[in-house]
Chain A
Amino acid sequence: MRRHKRWPLRPLASASVRCISSAAETVTTPTAAAAFPLKHVTRSNFETTLNDLRAHVKAADFVAIDLEMTGVTSAPWRDSLEFDRYDVRYLKVKDSAEKFAVVQFGVCPFRWDSLTHSFVSHPHNFYVFPRQDHHEFLCQTTSMDFLAKYQFDFNTCIHEGISYLSRRQEEEASNRFEMMYDDEEGVVETEDFKLVRLADVLFAERIKKKLNEWRSELLHGGNASSESPGISNGSTQSTETVFYHMRPALSLQGFTSHQLRVIRLVLGKHFGDLVYIHANDKSSCSQDFVVYTDSESDKENLLKEAKDERRKVAERKIQSAIGFRQVIDLLSSEKKLIVGHNSILDIAHVYSKFMGPLPSTAEKFVASINDHFPYIVDTKILLNVNPMLNQRMKKSSTSLSSAFSSLCPQIEFPSRSSDSFLQQRVKIDVEVDNVRCSNWNAGGKHEAGYDAFMTGCVFAQACSHLGFDFEHDSENIAQNEKLEKYINRLYLSWTSGDIIDLRTGHSNAENWRVSKFKYEKIVLIWNFPRKLKARQIKECICKAFGSTSVTSVYHLDDTAVFVLFKNSELVSEFLKVKEQLESDNGPVTIIHPLSKILEGGKTGAADYEAYKEICSSHISKVLFSDQAETVGVKPRTRPETERRESMVAVTDNDKASDLIDAFLASRV
């Protein structure tokens, strides 16, 4: 089988490029250097590509992925903020993955080829578009603009994007089909449905007569002309004698569903041996038959056969609706090492789109993602946490493209490949549609397929720096002890490549456990007079509670601030005083220093747990104050005990501490 290939219009200058055709197919090796486009996958070539991909993934040592979404944050304050505890950060990731759509999914399997001493990669760029019923997603205008800036093809995505069903949706769909069969099995309730209208009565009579004729013709030979003209002149209705499951049948065409109900009624009343069957054929056109059965047992058989057939059709339908999830199932079932760059959001998207609703807490999420993808490595963590790699990055940013330029210059600038220094680098070939090329640069940054390719290259090079000898180690990269410290760790924060700043700059878990208590010292204030700035708010509170009572004040957005108090007692004291001032109308309220903050009477305040509650809501108002009002958090402090409990739960869990370690380790 030969696939259409596109050869470059503009051969690259370098002469040292060599392209090897794969053994399976004899392709004339072009003498000039070749660059070919990224492999784009849409609905039309999905099935064939999937078959090839299966083999590539099976053979792969690791698979790099990357996603493009329609947005990242559903409101400005949903971005990760300085005062976000890790559980709040998870809630923000969860919100993002639930609201936005994935429009492109890059999958790039890498396999070590010991013959050529190089990796062979197979970048795939899947266009994905959700086509489930009633599916809605959010678009962030800046993200859409960003995609447009990189010439993202929205038309291809919406016209040709591959749809998908999550595992949960698949279950629901088969349940729905199940229910539908049961409905169809049911005989028309005769009590329920009576022939009242004259038209129905006449129609029923006509049908009865017609069926009688057909049946007696069938039984007594007669003049069995298989065609019959429309029942009434000029109508599109027609009946035709056909065979349905080896039995003589009358195919009914052009009847309304109401008329079909009348027909079913007539059959039930007058014809014991004629059975009504509603079938969906492969092209999902529905067809209706009246089938003759010669005995009760035959009738039962027929009904069973029809039911099985409908089930098969339904299963096929669901199977095809699963669509892109087959790729995810493939990655999951092969238990391959998944490589991503700053990939917490990608993984969360994969979970919510292809598994089911995201769990409510980070611990549950981590545990459950482990069941599906036992080995995940994040190149961003690798580059930041490993001192040697960090050094190699020469302190440049660890964004994907800059990591790629500093670690893989041999791929980014192939013309310099004569450089002896560069030749020590890991060689990475690209194979698209059985054409292999050792220096490929399709360019397209922010095409998911190319980004996945870059991620994989960065990972391979990083492994080589860590002392991997791929000749021996490629088999089981995931279990290699050199990677042990980095595997299955993800950053919870995704902003701009910056690592979570825990403010105090603690560098290990011990310290963090101390710092976590700072969240008990935080009060959230919103809807204060807009003209007040952080500094003025601090002044007001200091006037009321002492000049050292407030450590810092930090804006969430224009409408809300976090106030970090010296201790947690001040938190409840503040909330108590606020409540008192609000219920009191005396002169104290006017001269009290806090009155400046409470001016307008709409100011809300609550402790940190309320912030978490606000973040967990599926509502997203642009302004935080609107959000707080809509979620309806009542200003209050929580009982001490309850708060303790929630803190304990955090530290008990191994997975959670793994996570915590992961982002603490970042502060090298």
Chain B
Amino acid sequence: MKRRFLSSLSASAGNSKTLNQGGWSVKQVKKSNFKSALDEFRTSIDSSDFVAVSLENTGSHAAAWHRVSAIDTPQTSYLKAKYAAERYQIFQFALCPSSLHGSKLTLHPYNFYLFPRDELKLGMPSYSFSCQASRLTAMARDGFDFNTCIYEGISYLSREQESASKFLSGNPILPHPIALPSSPSTVADTVFVGRIRSRVKNWRQSCIDSSSKTGDDDLVSSLRKLVLGSEQYGSRLCLTIDVCSERQVQLILEMLTEFSDDVVPLLIASKSRGTQAVRAVFMSSKDDKDLFKRELHDLENEENRRVRGFREVVDLISSSRKPVVSQNYLSDFTSIHAKFLGPLPSNVDDFTRSLSSAFPNVVDLSQLMKEISPLSNVSNLPAAMSSLNRFFAPVDVEVANQDEGNQMHGQNVVMISHLFAKLSTIQKSSVQSNKDLQALDSDEHANSITSNDENVKVWSKNSRRVSSENLVFIWGLSKKMTAAMLKKVLQKSHTVFAQEFDVKYLDRSCAVLVFWDSGSSDTFLSAVNNEEQLVGSLREMVAEGVRVAGYDTYRRACRLGFWEADLAEALDKTLESSASDRDLDTKPSDISWSSELTINFDEL
């Protein structure tokens, strides 16, 4: 008997008590109840219109400048997110399949605990991961249960890891059908194939004989086996042919196609990489062959399911092709890609392409939010929610889950789902069918970043678009220098500063200068780098250790992965690294510069 726990709350316009935190019943999933939860999840996702996701990672950024900021182009933002996604671990993966009918939003929130377990002893899914102490402390403050997570978290393998592990798990596998005939054979190949062919022929004949002649007594049949080197695979007869190279495997498989009616080849992997042997299994009939292939397939599926773990859930979402709503597109999906799909590609376009093949409809909630309510900050969900109160968009929330004890974790995902429902209601006041909903997602909001995006949207009222080429990084300054002081010093140092420019510290060690005229940055850079032009106070500054570099150096620092704690250190290292190592993507791109830069100086 399934008792449903219904908690509903009307959060329509003008109603300020939008979401009561900690009030929703979120199903907590660990190793022990994963199997049953998975079946439940499958039904929930089938009936849903979209899925909200929310991840809890062991860290976000190791140093102030590693955080994506206004000076980042899509490519550098991606590289920063990639760096974080590869280092940190997902401890908690909250998912909420949701369906919206009229104003009624039905939610099925789940919260999965994840922990990477090296079950195959192959260093997979991950050999190690980083933790940010402050992040763990913050999670502890929110009551996160680390023991549950580490003792009982669900493990997983990415798609790429799974295919690699298949070979290493030691189970026999069906070879892929041979697509191309192999390269012209040598004399040695012919001799090898001839020898194996006659061996297989003899063995096969004996199999046929023994299956027709049941009169043989045990002694004779076992002698026969001994002589022919025939063994049994399950209840079937088989022959194991040892191989020394992948070339031989290829040759044997080609040769065995001659006997494809009643012989099925299997590959036996060696402990280290590679194939150790080919096993030919004799089929008594066509039906037997189908049965055998099915058995093998089931066995493989069972094994895969065990190894795949939580990725099963990711695959379900992927194959459902439902829109996936996330609060923080870049950081969430780089993590998802890195952990469950495969290694992250080195540039943002490849990433977007690779991601969209798995998740065709991805909604960046913050992007959507900016269009509807440009001033609000989606990182604070309750605040974002209440900022929408000026719209009339009634959404009734109903959480349909079985009621179980402590449900406090994974509440965010409910809010994300709710917020998205509300935003969609506002945007298309009559969203009825999920067809509309999907149209909305795929149109303009999905996959919102590409490296060609030179027209980054202006999202703050006092921000201006500026080409990345107009930025100059400056470091090696005195520790007590403030932005205002620096500006004053610079104004006296060079004529280029007679025009309007802006100064902002990016971290403790490095500031960025923003010129509004193109060309000014080049003038300044060449002035600093030219012995003769370098005069007066500017010369003095350089002598005292001030260094400058253009945006290209920053881009290269990100690309080369110089993720030092201080940006100054990273830029220094980049300049030191060989100049021959030029970047290919040097085309200028625009960034959105806001004088109220979203750098939190309290954290510096």
Residue numbers of A with Cβ under 8 A of B are 70-71, 74-76, 101, 129-142, 144-145, 147-148, 153-155, 157-159, 179, 182-183, 189, 192, 530-531, 533, 558, 620, 622, 630, 632
Give min CB distance, A58 to chain B, whole Å: 32
For the complex with contacts A135-B133, A138-B130, 5 further pairs of A-B residues with Cβ separation under 8 Å are A131-B134, A139-B128, A141-B117, A141-B126, A145-B150
Q: Distance (Å) between the CB of B552 and the closest chain A CB?
A: 20
Chain B residues at the A interface, C-beta cutoff of 8 Å: 58-59, 62-63, 89, 115-118, 123, 126-134, 136-137, 139-140, 145-147, 149-151, 245-246, 272-274, 479-480, 484-485, 561, 565, 577
- Which partner residue on chain A sits nearest B89 by CB separation? A139
In Å, the complex CA distance between A101 and B136 comes to 13
Complex Cα gap A155–B118 (Å): 22
Task: List chain A residues, Cβ under 8 A from B246.
Answer: 531
CB distance from B87 to the nearest CB of A (A): 9
- Nearest CB of chain A from residue B332's CB, rounded to whole Å: 21
A75: which of B127, B139, B145, B565 is its contact (CB, 8 Å)? B127
A622 contact from B62, B127, B130, B484, Cβ within 8 A: B127
* Selected A-B contacts with CB under 8 Å, 27 pairs: A75-B128, A101-B131, A129-B136, A134-B134, A135-B133, A135-B134, A136-B62, A137-B131, A139-B129, A139-B130, A139-B131, A140-B128, A141-B117, A141-B126, A141-B127, A145-B118, A147-B150, A154-B150, A155-B147, A157-B146, A179-B479, A189-B484, A192-B485, A531-B273, A558-B273, A620-B128, A630-B561
Contacts of A558 in B (CB 8 A): 272-273
A141 B129 Cβ-Cβ under 8 A: yes
Rounded to whole angstroms, the CA-CA distance of A141 and B89 in the bound complex is: 10
Contacts of B274 in A (CB 8 A): 531
CB of B15 to closest CB in A, whole Å: 23
Q: Contacts A179-B480, A531-B246; is A141 near B130 (CB within 8 Å)? A: no
- Contacting residue for A154 out of B58, B116, B137, B146, CB 8 A: B146
How far apart sit A65 and B233, CA to CA, in the bound complex (Å)? Answer: 55
Provide the bound-state CA to CA distance between A130 and B136, in Å.
10
In the assembled complex, which residues on chain A have CB atoms less than 8 Å from the CB atom of B151?
A: 148
- A98 nearest CB across to chain B (Å): 13
**What is the chain B residue whose CB lies nearest that of A147?**
B150
- Give chain A residues whose Cβ lies under 8 Å from the Cβ of B127: 75-76, 140-141, 622
Choice from A76, A134, A138, A189 contacting B565 with Cβ under 8 Å: A134
How distant is A77 from chain B, measured CB to nearest CB, in Å? 11
**Who on chain A is nearest to B137 by CB?**
A131
* Residues in A whose Cβ lies below 8 Å from that of B123: 76, 622
A131 touches B133 (CB 8 A): yes
Which single member of A140, A144, A192 contacts B150 (CB below 8 Å)? A144
Do A141 and B272 touch (CB < 8 A)? no
Contact indicator A158/B273 (Cβ below 8 Å): no
Which residue of A137, A138, A158 is within 8 Å of B146 (Cβ)? A158
- Tell me the bound Cα distance from A158 to B131 in angstroms: 12
In contact, B128 and A133 (Cβ under 8 angstroms): no
Quick one: given A145-B117, A154-B150, are A136 and B130 in contact (CB under 8 Å)?
yes
Q: In the complex the two chains form, what is the Cα distance from A145 to B119 in whole Å?
A: 10
A530→B246 CA distance, assembly (Å)? 12
Task: Give min CB distance, A186 to chain B, whole Å.
Answer: 9
Query: Is the pair B59, A142 in contact by a Cβ cutoff of 8 Å?
Result: no
B128 touches A530 (CB 8 A): no
Nearest Cβ in chain A — how far from B602, in angstroms?
10
- Inter-chain contact A74/B140, CB cutoff 8 Å: no
Q: Of residues A129, A136, A140, which shows the largest number of chain B Cβ atoms within 10 Å of its Cβ? A: A136
A141:B131 contact, CB within 8 angstroms: no
> In this complex, what residue of A is CB-closest to B246?
A531
CB-nearest residue of chain A to B119: A145
Q: Which residue of B lies closest to A144 (CB)?
A: B150
B62 x A134 contact (CB < 8 A): yes
Cβ–Cβ < 8 Å partners of B485 in chain A: 192
Q: Given the complex, which residues of A lie within 8 Å of B145, measured CB to CB?
A: 155
CA distance A148 to B30 in the complex (A): 15
Chain B residues, CB < 8 A from A157: 146
Chain B residues with CB below 8 A from A70, complex form: 131
Compute how far the CA of A137 lies from the CA of B151 in the bound complex, rounded to whole angstroms: 20
Question: Could you tell me the distance between the alpha carbons of A140 and B58 in the complex, rounded to whole angstroms?
Answer: 13
A189–B480 CA distance with the chains assembled, in angstroms: 14
Which 10 A-B pairs have CB atoms at the shortest separation, nearest pair first?
A: A154-B146, A135-B133, A140-B128, A158-B140, A159-B140, A130-B133, A622-B127, A148-B151, A148-B150, A141-B116
Given known pairs A158-B146, A179-B480, the reply for A138 and B129 (CB within 8 Å) is yes
**Complex Cα spacing A201 to B150, Å:** 57
Q: How far is the CA of A632 from the CA of B580 in the complex (A)?
A: 14
Q: Which chain A positions have C-beta within 8 A of B561?
A: 630
CB distance from A1 to the nearest CB of B (A): 30
Tell me which residues across on chain A come within 8 A of B147, comparing CB atoms. Answer: 153-155
> How far does the Cβ of B299 sit from chain A's closest Cβ, in whole Å?
27
Once the chains bind, are B134 and A133 in contact (CB under 8 Å)? yes
> Across the interface, which residues of B come within 8 angstroms of A620, CB to CB?
128
Kindly state the separation between the CA atoms of A439 and B133 in the bound complex, as whole angstroms: 39
CA–CA, A246 to B273, complex, Å? 80
The interface residues of chain A lying within 8 Å CB-to-CB of B245 are 531
Closest CB-CB distance, A417 to chain B, in whole Å?
A: 36
Q: Which residues from chain A contact B59 at a C-beta distance below 8 Å?
A: 136
In the bound assembly, the distance between CA atoms of A124 and B133 in angstroms comes to: 24
Residue from A134, A140, A622 with most neighbouring chain B CB atoms (10 Å): A134
A153 to B115, CA, bound (A): 16
- List the B side residues contacting A75 at CB < 8 Å: 127-128
Known A-B contacts A134-B134, A137-B130; the reply to A155 vs B63 at CB < 8 A is: no
* A179-B479 Cα distance, complex, nearest whole Å: 9
Are the CB atoms of B140 and A134 closer together than 8 Å? no
Complex CA–CA separation, A182 to B116 (angstroms)? 48
Alpha-carbon separation in the docked complex, A620 to B137 (Å): 25
Residues of B contacting A183 in the complex (Cβ-Cβ under 8 angstroms):
480
The closest CB in chain B to the CB of A142 belongs to B118
Q: What is the bound-complex CA distance between A148 and B140, given in angstroms?
A: 18
Q: How far is the CA of A135 from the CA of B133 in the complex (A)?
A: 6
Indicate whether A129 sits within 8 Å of B133 (C-beta atoms), given known contacts A134-B565, A158-B146: yes
A71 vs B126: C-alpha distance when bound (angstroms): 13
Measured in the bound complex, the distance between the Cα atoms of B62 and A133 in whole Å is 10
CA distance A632 to B573 in the complex (A): 13
Bound Cα distance A155, B62 (Å): 23
Which residues of the partner chain B approach A144 to less than 8 Å between Cβ atoms? 115, 150
Whether the Cβ atoms of B484 and A192 lie closer than 8 Å is yes
**Residues of A contacting B139 in the complex (Cβ-Cβ under 8 angstroms):** 158
Nearest-Cβ distance from residue A532 to partner chain B, whole angstroms: 10
Q: Which residues of chain B come closer than 8 Å to A179, judged between CB atoms?
A: 479-480
User: Shortest distance in angstroms between B90's beta carbon and chain A's nearest beta carbon?
Assistant: 13
Contact B272 A533 (CB under 8 A): yes
